[in-house]
Structures are given as C-alpha cells and as structure tokens.
Structure 1
Amino acid sequence: MRILLVKTSSLGDVIHTLPALTDAYQQLPHLQCDWVVEEAFKEIPTWHPAVKQVIPSAVRRWRSNVKQAIRSGQWRYFKESLQQCRYDYIIDAQGLLKSALIAYQANGKRVGLNWSSAREPLASLLYHQRYAVAWNQHAVTRLRQLFAAIFDYPLPEAMPDYGIQDFFKPFKTLNTQPTVIFLHGTTWSSKQYPEAYWFILASLAVQAGLQVRLPYGNAIEQNIAEKIRGNNPEHIHLIPKGSLTDMAKELLQAQLVIGVDTGLAHLAAALNVPAITLYGATQPAWTGTVGLNQVTLQTEFACSPCLQKRCRYKESAPVYPACYAQLPPQKIWEIAQHLLTHSP
C-alpha cells in the first residue's frame, strides 16, 4: 500500500504526526509513505522507516511571491512530484484549506477529518471520505485516531511511538560532562520565559556541576543566548546553528532539557530525552510534549492559557509574561534535580 501524507508544518505538528504513522506501519508492514512537508522540516520524515520519499513544499515562501513561484517553474515541479503515481490514500492530516488543496493536486483517494473535526471545515469538502475525531484531546491522540479509522484497526493502547529511535541510535553517546539544554527560543513573545529567570536557572545548573548549552534560530535568540552565557562563559555555551538532525544529536547528549513551548521541545520528547516544558499562554492538554520522562508545567493564572501571541495582562506583575511568576526558577530546578536523579 502506498499513501501520500500531507502534514506541512509546524515543527511540533509534524513531530506529532509520527506516532500515527508508526501505528499504521506496525499494522501494515508493507506500507510505503510519501510525505508532503514544508521545506524547513523536510529532514523529519526521513527519520521514519515508513517514509520512502519526501516532497518539500514551499507554500510559506511562494505566498510572498506567487508570480515568481509560477514563472520559475517551482509550482509546476511541485505538482508533478505529487502526480508521479496513484496513491491508495491521500491523507490530509492538517485539516486546513491549504493542505486540502495540496492533497487535491495528487492522484488517489483523498481522506481527512469531517466538517466538525477539521480546523478549517471547508477543507473537508475536498475529501472523498471524511472521519469524525473528537476535539478536546491531545493532537497526537487525534491523529492516531484518524489513522486508525482510515486503515480500520483498533486504536493501540501503547504509548505513542515516534518511530525515530532506530535512526538516532548510532548517535547516542555518553557525555563525559553532564549537560542541560535550555530551549529559550519561541515565535510567540507570550511564551518566552523571562530572561532574568533564565539567568537564575543557568546559575543553579552550573552550581550543580552541569554544562549549559543554548541553541538559537535567529539574531534575537542569539542575543538572548549570549546574555545568558555572559554570566559564566566557562560553563555556558552556544550550540552552533545547524540542521534539525544536528539539533537532534545535540539533544540526545543532554541529561536534561528545560524549555518553553517550542518545536524543539517536542523533538526532545520524541527522542525520550528527560525534559521540563513550561506552558503559560498555551494548553499542554492539547499540544503538550508527549514521551518518556516528560514534565509539563502549566501556570494557574487568571488569563492562562490565553492562546495569544503577546501577553496582554495590564496589571502590575513582577515579570512578563505575567503568568510565569507562578513558575519561578527555583521551583523548576527542584523538579529538574528529581529528573536528573531518577531518569534513566
């Protein structure tokens, strides 16, 4: 059986799709999957044994210059890649109009969420077959339920298996210097943990004999990382920019990861790296990290989770985003010490 999977973005959403594909691959060992994904995340599907071909999409880039995308032939080449064979199933796992339109270009039976289950109900009109999946569940669970309904097998009771452990097994080595990685970068300012709190966490980690490593994805994140490093450059280091595979290898060497709600936190969870992930503006019950040795901490604040990109709290607060005052670094470090002691 050959399927086309359309799940283009974001980083966390793409990772959330892996367990559903693992379920289907375990039920149908001869399954072959081609995956349409945003070009920035094209490495991720290659880590899974069921994926035979990755078809990179550049919708984000094309939307900024539609004429250029057409004139350059990029859109035509993309359509030809989608139409190179006939698929048994074309699964739109995104439930958006843009992903449904991508699925519409391919040859085969289009399937996805029904009107009441899709994030954008209009997308369901482009499918040949539609499935109901209840809301108010974690994204990983919803996707596993969708795949189970499409391929008609009982929903597995086992914990989600991202299916990438074998790919990364050769890269797991014993780090001679215990390391903690801080995932401080995120696109929403409402999810950014206060800089002053990161300074305290870094000091606590160094006092405990750990090296601190800091990734960054842009100039703003690099500036924050360098500020944190400035407190103790001997024990705090920046992770050079590289590929997602390089970042996964870095995460594998860490004894602990502490981060905000960001795509790399979900990558750490998929690799079963012990981690603490902080939630203020967002809801971990729907999109939190899922895996072994994962701790999600959510603030219990009047307006949390607000699901807003910027903190709009108007009252006086010791830090901003205001909800993070309920997650001081000392509290986080107590949990970190437990994970460092008891996690395999």
Structure 2
Amino acid sequence: MPRPEHILVIRLSALGDVAMTVPVLSVLTQTYPNLKITVVSRKFFKPLFQELSNVAFLEADVYKKHKGFKLLKLADEAQTLRVDAVADLHNVIRSKILSGYLKLKGLKVATIDKGRKEKKALIGGSKKNFKQLKSTHQRYADVFARLGYPVDLKKFQKPGRKQLTTRLVTLIGKHTKKAIGIAPFAAFPSKMYPMEHMQKVIASLDSSGEYRIFLFGGGKREIDQLNELEKQFESVTNIAGQLNFEDELALISNLDLMISMDSGNGHLAAMLGIPVLTLWGVTHPYAGFTPFGQSKENQLLSDRSQYPRIPTSVYGNTFPEGYENAMKSISVEKVLQKIAAIL
C-alpha cells in the first residue's frame, strides 16, 4: 500500500502539548520534503506552525462552529483539502470522532499511544514503577512511523532567531546582556516554585548587572503579580499581557535561557532551540514531558528523599498532604548555580 501524501495532524490542546508537536513536524518535513501536512488545532496556536515548510493549518472551533457532532463538518473541511491519512496525536473524544469519521471515509488512521498504563504505574503508591518512560515527542514520532514515515528526532535543526518587531525593540530596548525569560506560573500550585524563592533568584540576577530578565505569564492575576515583581528590579521587564502570541514567540527565540516550571513556556522555548531550565514539583521528567532536546542536567527536581511519593500525578493535579511545599526543597543557590552553568 502506498504511503500517504497528505497527513491531517490532530492536536487540539493544550499549549505545551501542541508546542511539543513542532520539533517533531520540523524533522518530519525536513526528512520528507514532498510530504504535505495539515495541522488541525485551535486558532490561537497557528503561529506555532507558520515557519514549517509544507505545513498548513486548519482551525478547529470546538466551542462554536465545530461543537459536538459539528466536528464532522471539520472532517469534511479536511477532506476538501485532499488529506489521505490522519495522525491523531491527541487521542481524546473529539479527536476520535474526527479520525473515526475519516477512517470510515477510507483514510488510514494512526493514533498516539499515551502510555496510560505505564504512567499509572509511575505514579502508583507502594508499587510505583519508577523509571524513565518514552518521551511525548517520541510518542508523536511513533504515530508517523506507523503511517510509513519514521523520523530520527536527533536530526532536529535549531531554527534561527526571529527578527524583533519595532514593538519589541521599543519594549525591551537595545542591550548586550544575556537575556533570561522566567515563567514562574503553572496550572497547579504544586508545580510552582515558591514566589519568595523566585524573588530571591531574580534579586541575585538583577544585582549582578549581567542580565536582562523578561517575565512571562497570562491572566489578570498573574499579570498583576508580575507587574509588582517588575517594579522591584531595574533589569526586569514584564511582557505578560503586552504582546500578541507571535511577538512573544519572537522574543522567546532571542533569549539565552528560559526558566520554566513543568508548563507550556518551557516547551515554547525548547521548540525554538533555546536552553530551558525546568523546575519540577510533584511531577517528574520520567513521565515524558521534558522540553525537547533538554539534558538531564537542565532539570532541577524536588528532593525525593523528603518527598518519596513524587511523582504523585502526571499533571500535578493530585498530591498527598504536605507535598504542595515540595519545591521548597530546591534551594535558591542551586537554581543560581544551574543558571550560571548553562550560560
């Protein structure tokens, strides 16, 4: 059976998971330059794919236009693009409806194996199977291999820095210092480095006079917190709420380092080839969500001798009493030493 020529790639959310598809698609399209890809995802994520060759974008409006079984309209739209295979990188109800419908229409479908059984064993109690699981990036790559397109993720080519817009130049000014991004928030408090610790990290970086620091976040509460943080330090600029997504990506591509929790901003920086220092709370790199291409040394972990049940969950949403403080076991000094080593 001939290999497909045009693959519909489904990954509807969330930011970090969608960003993790980008380096995989980059290697895929570089390895197979005649292969066409159409990504179906939320409109907000479109800028992630704009610089990938042979990659088009199809907007999924799952809350209005394509809500419920109106998803079939989205499948029909995909068919008009003459896709001949489906790579379901999400494996949830919505993506199953899309891929199942297109399979009935005769398209070949390959679906991600999320390793749910392995992950359940990883976070288990006394029977925890504590070992490194396959990365999400490799799980994505395996889907394309089943469609006849194996890829070697080690062949990823770091993209060049994006040109700064006039808006960005005005906002951040000209400087020759090392540029550090800090994204201190996460979906759950159990994955957030204590703000009082982060303030000490920033204070030390600021006092050295060697760095420009850019704060990332979203939502009114986070923006308010970051604005207060910005006021305390001369070298700090809060860009949360000030940039559109494309400009934010351009700025990230010009950083020398991103400091992130186990959250989306780390994956955005990694897909752009920027070093990422990740701070881990009740989650753990073994679950397979380490930002792309980042070494083990770039992962700072909470102390498992104090908190032996880590990882307590895959996403950080559940943890035993007292584990919400696990990240306090990562010292400010250790963070600063690691920043110096990376830079």
Under a length normalisation based on structure 2, what TM-score does the superposition of the two structures give?
A: 0.79
Could you say which residue in structure 2 is the equivalent of 1:322? 325
Q: Counterparts in 2 of 1:1-344, with a 5 A limit?
A: 1-51=5-55, 53-59=56-62, 61-62=63-64, 78-106=74-102, 107-113=105-111, 117-118=113-114, 136-151=133-148, 153=150, 155-156=151-152, 159=154, 161=156, 165=159, 168-171=161-164, 175-209=175-209, 210-232=211-233, 234-241=234-241, 242-285=243-286, 286-291=288-293, 295-299=298-302, 300=304, 301-307=307-313, 309-310=316-317, 312-315=319-322, 321-340=324-343
Question: Distance between the aligned counterparts of 2:116 and 2:41, measured in 1?
Answer: 19
SS, match of residue 49 in structure 1: coil
* Cα pair 1:19 1:160 within 8 Å, conserved: no
CA distance in 2, matches of 1:54, 1:271: 19
**After superposition, what is the alpha-carbon deviation per residue over 1:193-242, rounded to whole angstroms, capped at 9, x for unaligned?**
1110111011011022122211221012112212322322x222211533
Quote the Cα distance in structure 1 between the aligned partners of 2:116 and 2:80: 28
Counterpart CA distance in 1 for 2:82 and 2:11 is 19
Give the structure 2 partner of residue 132 of structure 1.
none
CA distance in 1, matches of 2:212, 2:31: 43
Count matched residues: 308
1:193–1:321 CA contact under 8 A, matched in 2: no
Inter-CA distance 55–218: structure 2 relative to 1 (3 Å threshold): same
| Secondary structure at the counterpart of residue 29 of structure 1 | coil
Give unpaired runs (5+ residues) of structure 1: 122-134
Secondary structure of residue in 1 paired with 2:326 = helix
Structure 1 counterpart of 2:309, one-letter code: C
Q: Quote how far apart the aligned CAs of 1:119 are.
A: 6.3
Counterpart contact for 1:279–1:297, Cα < 8 Å: yes
Q: Helix, strand or coil: the match of 2:198?
A: helix
Offset of 1:169 from its aligned partner? 4.6
Give the whole-Å Cα distance in 2 for the aligned partners of 1:97 and 1:118: 14
Shift of 1:298: 1.9
Q: Give the C-alpha shift of residue 287 in structure 1.
A: 0.5
1:5 Cα deviation from its structure 2 partner: 0.9
Contact 1:21 1:50 in 2 (8 A): no
* 3-state SS of 2:59 partner: strand
| Structure 2 residues not aligned, in runs of 5+ | 118-131
* Partner SS for 1:276: strand
CA distance 1:252–1:43, shift in 2 (3 Å): closer
In structure 1, how many angstroms separate the alpha carbons of the residues matched to 2:192 and 2:231? 19
Counterpart of 1:54 in 2: which secondary structure? Answer: strand
Instruction: Look up the equivalent residue of 2:60 and give its one-letter code.
Output: S
TM-score (norm 1): 0.79
